[in-house]
Structure 1
Amino acid sequence: MTLLIRRSELALPACNDHMFAKALASGADLVFLDLEDATPEALKEQSREKAITALTELDWGRTVPAIRINALDTRWCHDDIIEVVSRAGANLHTIVVPKARTARDVWWVDVLLTQLEDKLGLEHKIRLEVLIEEVEGLANAEAIAVASPRVDTLIFGVGDFSLSQGARVDTNFEPLGDYPGDFWHYARNKVLVAARIAGIDAIDAPFPDYGNLAGYERDAQRASLLGYTGKWAIHPNQVPIANTVYSPTEAEITLAQRNIAAYREAEAAGRGAVGVDGVLVDAAHIKMATATLARAAAIDPYLRADGAVPVPS
């Protein structure tokens, strides 16, 4: 897991330039201009132009600028990468790679980007987020996750995965009949484990029923408990929920600070573990507490990762 802050990743059709300003004002950690599924075939080329304009002319503030390219087996993918990187690469942070099936898919994008960055003299390496949305991709998730040092994140793409698996689901990708537990638990967990093997983040699937904010929050909470660090949003109204769910709570921060303080005191007295309110706290708990505070500090610079809250000057 990284300390990149990707609690909310807002999808924005690249053809809908009238929505760009609202998306960038939504508070999303990352906004990706979607050249793939959300853009009709007849508008692919002109939407690519709109994406380039947005990357070069709009103020993105703290929002990470990204695009989702078309799938590697389409006639648009090659130009998506070459045109956008050649003309807006200096302002592009991340490319979302859809429908990855094997590590070779990621390798191909990596090689092309390396050539372009060298040719253009770009001062930064463009990062990759990779969608696992095919059954073959899920089977190869571990290899995909480590296929390139550019890969920051694996994303569970439930929509196309439903089709690939042949699942009988509704338009919100929920089962059409009674099913015990989380219908997508296996796929979610496998994507997460693959990401952790690579030391990268995992982003949860979109929730198309954007009017059902309680349902979005429920899905986000479940994925967060597993270890996901963010979720896709398809509407700006979903962004604040994701930002809250994937941030440590005040109770988590307080507990982490308390456990670290108690453990350090015990350590100074020559003990390797301590009881805190009747619960054992040992080295494993301190690692968890440290990770919680590091994430909180990355989100809120006023909280130090060592657990101490600095006194305002």
Structure 2
Amino acid sequence: MSFRTVVEATPRLHRSELAVPASRPAIFEKAAASAADLVFLDLEDAVAPDEKEAARRNAIDALRTIDWGSKIMAVRINGLDTHYMYRDVVDLIEQAGERLDLFIVPKVGDAKDVYALDMLTSQVEAAMGRRKRMGFSLIVETALGLANVERIAEESPRIEALQMGVADLAASLRMRTTNIGGPVDDYASAAGVLDAWQFPMSRVIAAARAAGRRPIAGPFGNFKDAEGLEAAARRARALGAEGMMAIHPSQIGIINTVFTPSEAEIRQARRILEAMEEATRAGRGAVALDGRLLDIASIRQAEALLEKVKMLG
């Protein structure tokens, strides 16, 4: 075990996050009523250049006037390579109030990107006397970002999550696909279709977990393919992802179900902790359960799962 202690990000229930174009205020109330754990109002890809300023005003107004319940509220700002980004940050912190929890930051390529955004955010927060610290959720969606993901993940204590952007990443890597997530043609074997996203997703997950951040899987573009969505979500969960982006409200239910611990998992976690408590009372340093030796890693896994259950009520 390393001497270094990993400080975990602010704990939040983050199974599903719903993308909502900030240029479409007519659907904000529906998003607020959805079962998504996180809603982000999008100022980036979903908004045309001539609508950017209006979309920003819509997001500010929505954060101040709509009842979003207990959802994590986020805004995906424009990229650091655009002239929209600094005004997104300044106006949102100055005008949107304390309801905004996170900036979702697209196309992060280098730790310096995070440093620059952190500096700007800190200065505006200090000027406004903002009580709640703004968090960051960083999207890794370029070859540069994937190559630098470990350094990116550790750059700022504001970082709460790392997530993978599949469409832009596919373009950056020159992958032979035009799909948003899901199977990639030609990437198969005699045993069946393989997951072309496993390496980048695994790398993002490892970097996130090593730095104490939440890893979030990229979206599945075909919102009419429920079976494909569930399979993609289960693969991401198996690799260690904590949640997944939804590009359509119809995807939220499946994503929440996949990333919610099952009754069997909950029972087993409780049995593990009970067995370890019993061993401690008896003065034993280790204990076997169902023919398997339990150790400190087993306890941590069980505790993490039950902590998520507690958030679910």
Structure 2: how far apart are the matches of 1:147 and 1:57?
A: 33
2-side partners of 1:64 and 1:159: how far apart?
Answer: 24
2:100 to 92, 114, 119: 92
CA–CA distance in structure 2, aligned partners of residues 237 and 10 of structure 1: 10
Question: How many angstroms does 1:299 deviate by?
Answer: 2.1
Aligned to 2:184: 175
* 2:215–2:242 CA contact under 8 A, matched in 1: yes
Structure 2, unaligned runs of 5 or more: 1-7
SS in 2 for 1:91: coil
Q: 1:259 to 1:91 in 2, by over 3 A?
A: closer
Q: For residues 13 and 186 of structure 1, what CA distance do their matches in structure 2 show?
A: 30
Q: State yes or no: 1:238 paired with 2:238.
A: no
Residue 308 of structure 1: aligned partner: none
* SS of residue paired to 1:5: coil
Deviation at 1:205, TM superposition (A): 0.2
Which of 106, 113, 127 is the matching residue for 2:114? 106
**2:14 partner SS:** coil
**TM-superposed deviation, 1:78:** 1.3
State which drifts further: 21-30 or 81-90: 81-90
Distance 1:172 1:199 in 2: 27
Cα distance 1:214–1:103, how it changes in 2: closer, same or farther (>3 A)? Answer: same
After TM superposition, list the pairs within 5 Å mapping 1:180-199 onto structure 2.
Answer: 180=189, 181-199=194-212
Residue in 2 aligned with 1:204? Answer: 217
Tell me the TM-score normalised to structure 2 length. Answer: 0.92
Q: 1:56, CA displacement in angstroms?
A: 0.9
Q: Which amino acid aligns with 2:78?
A: N
More displaced 10-residue stretch of structure 1: 135-144 or 84-93 = 84-93
For 2:171, the equivalent position in structure 1 comes to 163
User: Is 1:226 the equivalent of 2:235?
Assistant: no
Residue matched to 1:260: 273
Q: Percent identity?
A: 42
Matches of 2:18 and 2:96, distance apart in 1: 20
Task: Please say if residues 187 and 195 of structure 2, whose CA atoms lie closer than 8 Å, have aligned partners that are also in contact.
Answer: no
Q: Once the 2 structures are TM-superposed, how far is the Cα of residue 41 of structure 1 from its aligned partner?
A: 1.2
* Structure 1 gaps, min length 5: 301-313
**Residue 178 (structure 1) shift:** 3.9
How many pairs align?
300
- Aligned Cα RMSD in Å? 1.3
Aligned partner of 1:62 in structure 2 is 70
Aligned residue identity for 1:27: A
Task: Output the CA distance in 2 between the equivalents of 1:83 and 1:46.
Answer: 12
**Superposed structure 1 runs of 4+ greater than 4 Å apart:** none
